[in-house]
Amino acid sequence: MDTIMVLKFGGSSVADNRKLELVAKRITKIYDKGNRVVVVLSAQGKTTDKLINEAKELSNNVPSRELDALLSCGEQMSTAKLSILLNYMGYPSISLTGWQAGILTNNNNQNANIIKINTSRILKELNENKIVIITGFQGIDENLDITTLGRGGSDTTAIAIAAALHAKNCYIFSDVDGVYTADPNKIENAKKIENLSYEEMMQLSSEGAKVLHNRCVEIGEKFKIPIITKSTFNEEKGTVISDKIEENKVKSIIKKEVSRVSIIGNGIIRNFDLIKEIIDFIKKKNLELLNFEISETKISIVFKSIIDDENVRELHELIF
């Protein structure tokens, strides 16, 4: 039997009509070999950023349900456009939104987790020999409200679909052709890595390498699906992330920018109400911690990534 191939294309790979044509060519080449093809797309270019900014311009208190209703539109546009193009080229294809593709999530808007995927619609369309194009980054919760999976979440959609369809592997196409021994934009001799274990990739992601959405690698590991990152625009070999472990081989060096926030005042260590308020704030904001230390005169918080000044402003408001 033919195999199911899951191919995900990132936002810069589908940024305009010309790029959509290149993507369509890649897809049809694989389809013509007799594979059943499922495509997952991001929104075009900077669409998601643009939508977020527009919402913020309208309100300083955007309801999280409505934000997801808005953000999910980006992927609906890219998938519909690709399907229009493929059909025009003579290839039967259909675009499916998260809910049409049966992607059920919890109701954690802007950071929802996929709970399960009902693959019946996808399989029906594949059985009719269609190329199935699914919106990345979105699903539906049990109240039938639209959710999104967190920035960069289309990678996670792709691997979850690959797992649900028992695909042999999951291709992640983008404007970089793989994972490098260091950031190639900053270190000129950085070399592409051929193989990474899931664990190594998770370490890289948590140290700030923006290659794959973190949950994507977790799901890949759980269901033992190799993730292959490749460039949309050339035929170079990419990086394979799988359970292959290469002992004693150093893979990468990485620098990470973090935010450290300190709150100072004598006897702060005994101000339990303040400490509790700060902890609640961090939880409410979903900020990830690297370290939290309290001394006689200082609470020192190190966040996993750079946090917005807005957070510091709110913390200041809370304390003073």
- What are the residues binding ligand ASP (CB under 6 A)? 11, 42-43, 48, 74, 136-137, 151-154
User: Which one, 8 or 130, has the nearer CB to ligand ASP?
Assistant: 8
Sole window of 2-10, 18-26, 267-275, 311-319 interacting with Mg ion (rule: CB under 5 A):
2-10
SS3 41: strand
Residue with tokens 């390498």: 209
Q: How far is the CB of 111 from ligand ASP (least distance, A)?
A: 11
Binding mask 5-44 for Mg ion (x = CB under 5 A): -----x----------------------------------
Q: How far apart are CA 254 and CA 145, in angstroms?
A: 39
139 binds, among Mg ion, ligand ASP, none (CB under 5 to 8 A by kind): none
Q: Does 45 bind Mg ion (CB under 5 A)?
A: no
Q: How far apart are CA 17 and CA 14, in angstroms?
A: 7
Q: How far is the CB of 73 from ligand ASP (least distance, A)?
A: 10
Q: How far apart are CA 111 and CA 148, in angstroms?
A: 6
Q: Does 152 bind Mg ion (CB under 5 A)?
A: yes
* DSSP tag of 133: E
- The pair of three-digit structure tokens given for residue 128, joined into one six-digit string: 């009719």
For 9, half-sphere exposure in the C-beta direction (CA atoms, 13 angstrom radius) is 29
Task: Centre a 10 Å sphere on the Cβ of residue 163 and count the other Cβ atoms it contains.
Answer: 19
User: Which one, 28 or 111, has the nearer CB to Mg ion?
Assistant: 111
- Of 131, 176, 137, the closest CA to residue 26 belongs to 131
43 binds, among ligand ASP, Mg ion, none (CB under 5 to 8 A by kind): ligand ASP
Q: How far is the CB of 150 from ligand ASP (least distance, A)?
A: 8
- Of 158, 171, 67, the closest CA to residue 117 belongs to 158
48 binds, among ligand ASP, Mg ion, none (CB under 5 to 8 A by kind): ligand ASP
**What residues make contact with Mg ion under the rule CB under 5 A?**
10, 152
